[in-house]
């Protein structure tokens, strides 16, 4: 290869690395102190970009100069910093002590709200930004033209690194941040008001996200997808570097920048896959990232408690379950076509939610990418039918097999990790699947997906397909439920409650977790297969992060503690969604706000709240201690 070309390519890698670092450093600092993985960090980045395309042109009207451009960028970042501080005071402050999964979900609620707000304020059309005055030209390096603005970005990255180093090493605020990253309770016992430290940290983190976003406006047209696309990249950077480590974020950003710059030459379509593969490899070798510390990840449980109420069905439950089954059996007879359609979707989602609940509640494996297996099942069925001419029956049988195979492959890596790193890796694998389905247009139809995934003629009527779906989902749910009560389920719960103790009594923790992951993936795949035939099509939304979040919300809505919870949750969630979505342009905002309310008010879900109510009627346990 031409050496000049290599230099240019690595310089452009450095420019992307610089942007990545600025954004990722904010995320990693916030995580270090608050222990919250802030999903909304990408939204803050997007807000920075939108604010900049609004503010910078106004300032350039006054004086078309580089200082004005930079002033606009800084102002945007400052506003985002204030938004971040407000987010800490309004939301994060209330969720420091809830399980990590709820924190992830609550901050994802903010993502949804910001998405709708941005569309409302700036519209859905992408907005091209102004170029930076005095940096519009190209610089010639080895006779190759290289944009001056990219060189400028490299410089900004280094300046940010230097300033962060000074802040962290030379100021009291920095010392407190580093101390709190290690032991925030002890910092409080020494008289430091954590609340202000955390607000300050969020301001800093959000400022960096906003700065990263504002600096992008000469490079890319600002659009409403910026948040999710950057957050996955930034997650990867912080995870590879080690969550909470600023130097780690720097090194990881450098590696990813170069990987993308050169990867695009070799595998132009799948650079994203390369990046996630790198992350998987790093996590297998160093489970806490390059510069991470185990305590940062393993300090807290992802869930306070898993499945608690393992009580077998009593008479009441049997009656309720019986009535529910009779209602479902009667639905196609008495309900209209629309109700049957919704019924099929509820059944399918109930199975998907149940399989996720099996992982989370029983296995303690918090997957943030369960849509991957649902989607693989759907795509497997859809592609087998449309591309290879399979009939519905073998396709429906192969869907869970293929999804299970992928779950086994990904699960092999995933079950080696724990806590937040595990959740991040499940997300990464889901994004790989998403990226492949999205980018491999020839096979999958890309964004449009594939249509014509119809059931066999005998099952073509909605009513018949409903019974088919009912038979499949009921048997799968009953089978999974059996697994919960089998010795396997008990071993899995033992491993969830204490992996080391389970290990000590001879349970092969990794192996049973791996098996559970595979089983759960296969069940989700069956649900996906059934779903694709009910829709008649497949598309990438079935694998997207919002789908994974929907499934998590169903599980949490129903409550993790009960076996029946996910079924209740799926039915409730899908009915609500189906009812409200056509009524409002702000479904995402509504969903986001609901998620936040759920995390704040009903951390135990509907079924959990119900069991709490029944507990009220039992004699209360002896109060602990004397009342103050």
Shortest CB 180 distance to other proteins, Å: 9
The H or E element containing residue 538 is strand 537-538
Region 192-211 residues binding other proteins, contact defined as CB under 8 A: 192-194
Q: Is residue 487 within the footprint of other proteins (CB under 8 A)?
A: no
Listed ranges 153-161, 186-194, 457-465, 500-508: which one lies at the site for other proteins (CB under 8 A): 186-194
Contacts of 462 (CB under 8 A, 6+ apart): 332, 337, 340, 341, 344
Q: Which residue among 79, 95, 176, 483 contacts other proteins (CB under 8 A)? A: 176
Q: Which residue among 181, 238, 271, 386 contacts other proteins (CB under 8 A)? A: 181
Q: Which residue among 182, 229, 456, 594 contacts other proteins (CB under 8 A)? A: 182
CA angle 597, 600, 604 (to 5 degrees): 100
- Write the DSSP symbol of residue 65: S
Q: Is residue 183 within the footprint of other proteins (CB under 8 A)?
A: yes
Shortest CB 603 distance to other proteins, Å: 17
Q: Is residue 628 within the footprint of other proteins (CB under 8 A)?
A: yes
CA-based torsion, 436, 439, 444, 447: positive or negative: positive
In the bound state with other proteins, the residue whose beta carbon lies nearer, of 293 and 341, is 293
Shortest CB 621 distance to other proteins, Å: 8
Shortest CB 30 distance to other proteins, Å: 17
CA angle 30, 33, 38 (to 5 degrees): 35
Shortest CB 625 distance to other proteins, Å: 3
Listed ranges 170-178, 201-209, 347-355, 466-474: which one lies at the site for other proteins (CB under 8 A): 170-178
Q: Which residue among 4, 66, 159, 175 contacts other proteins (CB under 8 A)? A: 175
Q: Is residue 626 within the footprint of other proteins (CB under 8 A)?
A: yes
In the bound state with other proteins, the residue whose beta carbon lies nearer, of 33 and 59, is 33
Measured CA distances, 109 to 91, 118, 374, 473, 493 (Å):
11, 14, 22, 29, 29
Q: Which residue among 191, 314, 389, 582 contacts other proteins (CB under 8 A)? A: 191
What does the alpha-carbon distance between residue 150 and residue 179 come to, in Å, rounded to a whole number? Answer: 35
Q: Is residue 621 within the footprint of other proteins (CB under 8 A)?
A: yes
Shortest CB 308 distance to other proteins, Å: 13
Q: CA nearest 376: which of 554, 524, 551, 476? A: 524
Cβ-contact 26, 212 below 8 angstroms: yes
Shortest CB 98 distance to other proteins, Å: 16
Q: Which residue among 93, 131, 178, 300 contacts other proteins (CB under 8 A)? A: 178
Region 272-301 residues binding other proteins, contact defined as CB under 8 A: none
Listed ranges 362-370, 455-463, 486-494, 620-628: which one lies at the site for other proteins (CB under 8 A): 620-628
Q: Is residue 186 within the footprint of other proteins (CB under 8 A)?
A: yes
Q: Token digits for 414?
A: 């995933």
What does the alpha-carbon distance between residue 572 and residue 563 come to, in Å, rounded to a whole number? Answer: 16
Q: Token digits for 144?
A: 């190759």
What does the alpha-carbon distance between residue 150 and residue 147 come to, in Å, rounded to a whole number? Answer: 5
Specify the residue for token string 């409302």: 120
In the bound state with other proteins, the residue whose beta carbon lies nearer, of 62 and 620, is 620
Q: Is residue 166 within the footprint of other proteins (CB under 8 A)?
A: no
CA dihedral 568, 574, 576, 577 (to 10 degrees): 160
Size of the site for other proteins (CB under 8 A): 24
Shortest CB 279 distance to other proteins, Å: 24
Shortest CB 275 distance to other proteins, Å: 29
Q: Is residue 575 within the footprint of other proteins (CB under 8 A)?
A: no
In the bound state with other proteins, the residue whose beta carbon lies nearer, of 176 and 459, is 176
In the bound state with other proteins, the residue whose beta carbon lies nearer, of 187 and 376, is 187
Shortest CB 234 distance to other proteins, Å: 23
User: What are the strands, taking DSSP E only, across 109-230?
Assistant: 138-141, 144-147
Q: Which residue among 62, 124, 189, 333 contacts other proteins (CB under 8 A)? A: 189
**Coil, helix or strand at residue 450:** strand
Q: Which residue among 58, 82, 190, 471 contacts other proteins (CB under 8 A)? A: 190
Region 67-106 residues binding other proteins, contact defined as CB under 8 A: none
Angle between helix 194-214 and helix 66-90 axes, rounded to 10 deg: 140
Cβ-contact 549, 596 below 8 angstroms: no
In the bound state with other proteins, the residue whose beta carbon lies nearer, of 316 and 624, is 624
What does the alpha-carbon distance between residue 592 and residue 108 come to, in Å, rounded to a whole number? Answer: 7
In the bound state with other proteins, the residue whose beta carbon lies nearer, of 193 and 475, is 193
CA angle 385, 388, 393 (to 5 degrees): 40
Q: CA nearest 208: which of 272, 131, 275, 156? A: 156
Cβ-contact 518, 337 below 8 angstroms: no
Long-range contacts of 61-65 (CB under 8 A, 24+ apart): 64/133, 65/133, 65/134
β-bridge partners, 146: 139
Q: Could you list the residues that contact other proteins (CB under 8 A)? A: 172, 175-176, 178-179, 181-183, 185-194, 621, 624-628
């Amino acid at each position: 290869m031409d050496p000049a070309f290599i230099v240019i390519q690595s310089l452009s890698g450095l420019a992307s690395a610089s942007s990545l670092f600025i954004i990722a450093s904010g995320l990693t600092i916030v995580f270090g102190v608050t222990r919250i993985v802030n999903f909304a960090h990408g939204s803050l980045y997007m807000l920075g970009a939108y604010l900049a395309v609004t503010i910078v042109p106004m300032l350039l009207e006054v004086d078309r100069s580089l200082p004005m451009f930079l002033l606009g960028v800084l102002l945007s970042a400052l506003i985002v910093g204030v938004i971040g501080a407000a987010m800490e005071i309004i939301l994060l402050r209330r969720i420091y002590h809830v399980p990590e999964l709820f924190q992830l979900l609550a901050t994802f609620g903010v993502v949804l709200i910001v998405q709708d707000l941005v569309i409302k304020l700036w519209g859905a059309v992408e907005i091209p930004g102004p170029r930076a005055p005095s940096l519009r030209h190209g610089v010639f390096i080895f006779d190759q033209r290289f944009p001056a603005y990219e060189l400028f970005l490299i410089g900004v990255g280094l300046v940010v690194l230097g300033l962060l180093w000074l802040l962290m090493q030379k100021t009291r605020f920095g010392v407190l941040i580093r101390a709190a990253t290690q032991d925030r309770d002890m910092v409080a016992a020494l008289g430091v008001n954590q609340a202000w430290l955390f607000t300050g940290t969020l301001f800093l983190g959000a400022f960096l996200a906003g700065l990263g976003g504002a600096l992008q406006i000469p490079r890319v047209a600002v659009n409403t997808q910026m948040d999710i696309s950057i957050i996955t990249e930034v997650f990867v950077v912080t995870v590879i570097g080690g969550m909470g480590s600023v130097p780690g974020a720097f090194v990881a950003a450098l590696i990813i920048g170069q990987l993308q710059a050169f990867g695009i030459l070799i595998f132009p379509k799948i650079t994203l896959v390369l990046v996630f593969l790198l992350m998987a490899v790093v996590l297998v070798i160093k489970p806490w990232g390059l510069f991470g510390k185990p305590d940062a990840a393993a300090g807290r449980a992802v869930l306070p408690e898993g499945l608690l109420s393992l009580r077998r069905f009593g008479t009441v439950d049997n009656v309720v379950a019986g009535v529910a089954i009779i209602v479902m059996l009667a639905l196609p007879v008495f309900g209209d076509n629309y109700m049957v359609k919704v019924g099929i979707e509820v059944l399918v989602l109930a199975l998907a939610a149940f399989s996720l609940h099996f992982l989370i509640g029983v296995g303690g494996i918090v997957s943030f990418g369960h849509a991957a297996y649902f989607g693989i099942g759907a795509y497997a069925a859809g592609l087998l039918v449309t591309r290879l001419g399979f009939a519905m029956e073998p396709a429906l049988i192969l869907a869970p097999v293929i999804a299970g195979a992928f779950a086994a492959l990904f699960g092999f890596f995933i079950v080696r990790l724990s806590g937040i790193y595990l959740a991040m890796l499940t997300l990464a694998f889901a994004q790989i699947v998403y990226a492949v389905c999205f980018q491999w247009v020839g096979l999958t139809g890309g964004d449009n997906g594939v249509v014509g995934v119809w059931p066999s003629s005998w099952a073509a009527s909605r009513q018949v397909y409903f019974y088919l779906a009912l038979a499949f989902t009921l048997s799968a749910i009953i089978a999974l439920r059996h697994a919960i009560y089998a010795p396997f389920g008990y071993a899995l719960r033992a491993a969830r409650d204490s992996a080391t103790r389970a290990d000590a009594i001879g349970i092969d923790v990794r192996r049973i977790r791996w098996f559970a992951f595979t089983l759960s993936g296969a069940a989700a795949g069956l649900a996906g297969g059934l779903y694709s035939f009910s829709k008649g099509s497949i598309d990438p939304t079935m694998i997207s992060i919002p789908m994974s979040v929907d499934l998590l919300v169903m599980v949490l809505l129903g409550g993790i503690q009960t076996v029946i919870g996910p079924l209740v949750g799926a039915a409730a969630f899908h009915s609500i969604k189906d009812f409200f979505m056509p009524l409002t342009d702000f479904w995402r905002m509504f969903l986001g706000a609901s998620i936040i309310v759920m995390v704040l008010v009903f951390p135990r879900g509907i079924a959990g709240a119900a069991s709490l109510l029944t507990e009220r009627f039992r004699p209360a346990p002896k109060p602990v201690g004397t009342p103050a």
